[in-house]
Amino acid sequence: MISIQHNQSLKSYNTFKVDVCTKYFAVFNNVNELIDILNNEIIQEEKILILGEGSNILFTKYFNGIVLINNIKGIKINKETKQEAFVSVGAGENWHAFVLWSIKQGFSGIENLALIPGLVGASPIQNIGAYGVEAQEFITEVKYIDLKAKEKKILTNEECKFDYRDSIFKNKLKNKVVITEVIYRLSKKPKHNISYSVLKKELEETTQIISTESILNSVINIRNRKLPNPKEIPNGGSFFKNPLVSNTKFKTLRNKFPNIIGYKSSEKNMKIAAAWLIDNAGWKGYKKENCGVHKNQALVLINYGTATGRDILNLAMQIKKSVQQKYNITLEEEVTIL
């Protein structure tokens, strides 16, 4: 029998370390336990929030519903060919541990995504990405429980409608599913992507050998230099997405701001580094009372101690307003705000 707790603090369940409470709270270890909880009388009218490691979420108030912590474990090779392995991963597995497991098996592909906090179950939600690689390149299927029908469902890669920091789970299926398992297709031969210039430079400077392990180590080095470890400095990673603008708008901006950083995203659009926009607007290293902007990465907002979710949200809104005024660009939040 699963125990449902009342009035549980969520402070240790979000990487911003914001201290809010939830009305109800439970942990599930498998699909049967999840269904048991969903059938429990006391939660029938309650809002449901599925939480992984809380590394992409900002709580601004008491959660008036039930928070369910996904603890479904297990990594299994379902099928192997000469070239590839199809690996089924429980949604409650830690993402970085899965990356390390994959490298230990001699598989390649997801090494660029090392050290991203969170659980495997969240990896399809915003199609996690870093250093030139996105999860969508390796996901073949996502298994989930439909919260209303309480039935098992499967989506293929195409049906997930993946895009930059986006998928069907942030749109049509938002708050309607519990992802229970993700199937990854990994390469048994080296499948390296060193197109991201910072990664390429790091590899050139540290080792001449391009291997899955050297890419892993380089990614870890870069991330440790740039991004604050949430265990030491509470944060939620990039607070905003990198905005897309038309080529014409980018040209106009570049005339005004010659150092602006942008990358080709499609034939029509450029992706602008939001960190540069915020940095160039003077926010990097800003600190007010208990929250601020990281000194090495202007896209990362930080809780220096006892900031509330509201304090962090207020700072984010100030930044958003200043970016709007300076560049006429509306930043979109990457972090889920509740």
Q: In degrees rounded to 5, what are phi and psi of residue 216? A: -55, -50
Check residue 124 for interaction with ligand FAD (CB under 6 A): no
Structure tokens at 209: 């050998």
Could you say which of 111, 165, 187, 218 is catalytic? 165
Write down the least CB distance from residue 270 to ligand FAD, Å.
Answer: 20
Respond yes or no: is residue 334 known to be catalytic: yes
Q: Applying CB under 6 A, does 123 fall inside the site for ligand FAD?
A: yes
Helices (H) and strands (E) in the chain, counts: 7, 20
User: CA angle 81-83-87, nearest 5°?
Assistant: 65
Return the number of the residue (94 or 105) whose C-beta is nearest ligand EPU: 94
Q: Say which amino acid occupies 40.
A: N
CB of 167 to ligand FAD, least distance (A): 10
Residue type, 245: V
240 SS3 class: strand
Q: Residue 237 interacts with ligand FAD (CB under 6 A)?
A: yes
B/e letters for 117-128, b = 16+ CB within 10 Å, e = fewer, are bbbbbbbbbbbb
Q: Is 235 in the site for ligand FAD (CB under 6 A)?
A: yes
| Residue 32 CB coordination number (10 Å) | 10
Q: Which of 141, 120, 140 is nearest to 71 (CA)?
A: 120
Instruction: With CB under 6 A as the rule, give the number of residues binding ligand EPU.
Output: 18
Residues 274-303 that bind ligand EPU (CB under 6 A): 275-276, 279, 284, 297-299
Contact 129, 165 (CB under 8 A): yes
Please provide the DSSP assignment of 126-193 as one string.
Answer: TT-EETTEEGGGTEEEEEEEETTTTEEEEEETGGGT-BTTB-GGGTTTTTTEEEEEEEEEEESS----
Which of 129, 127, 173, 165 is closest to 148 using CA atoms? 173
Closer to ligand EPU at the Cβ: 143 or 284? 284
Residue 167 as a binder of ligand EPU (CB under 6 A): the answer is no
Residue 176 or 226 with smaller CB distance to ligand EPU:
226
Q: Is position 238 annotated as part of the catalytic site? A: yes
Window 67-106: contact mask with ligand FAD (x via CB under 6 A): ---x--------------------x---------------
CB of 27 to ligand FAD, least distance (A): 13
Contact pattern for ligand EPU over residues 232 through 251, marking x by CB under 6 A: -----xx--xx---------
Q: List the single partner that 275 binds among ligand FAD, ligand EPU, none, CB under 5 to 8 Å by kind.
A: ligand EPU
Contact (Cβ atoms closer than 8 angstroms) between residue 279 and residue 298: yes
**Pattern 172-211, binding to ligand FAD, x per CB under 6 A?**
-----xxx--------------------------------
Binding site for ligand FAD (CB under 6 A): 15, 49-57, 70, 91, 116-119, 121-123, 125-126, 128-130, 177-179, 227, 230, 235-237, 336
Q: Catalytic site residues?
A: 165, 238, 334
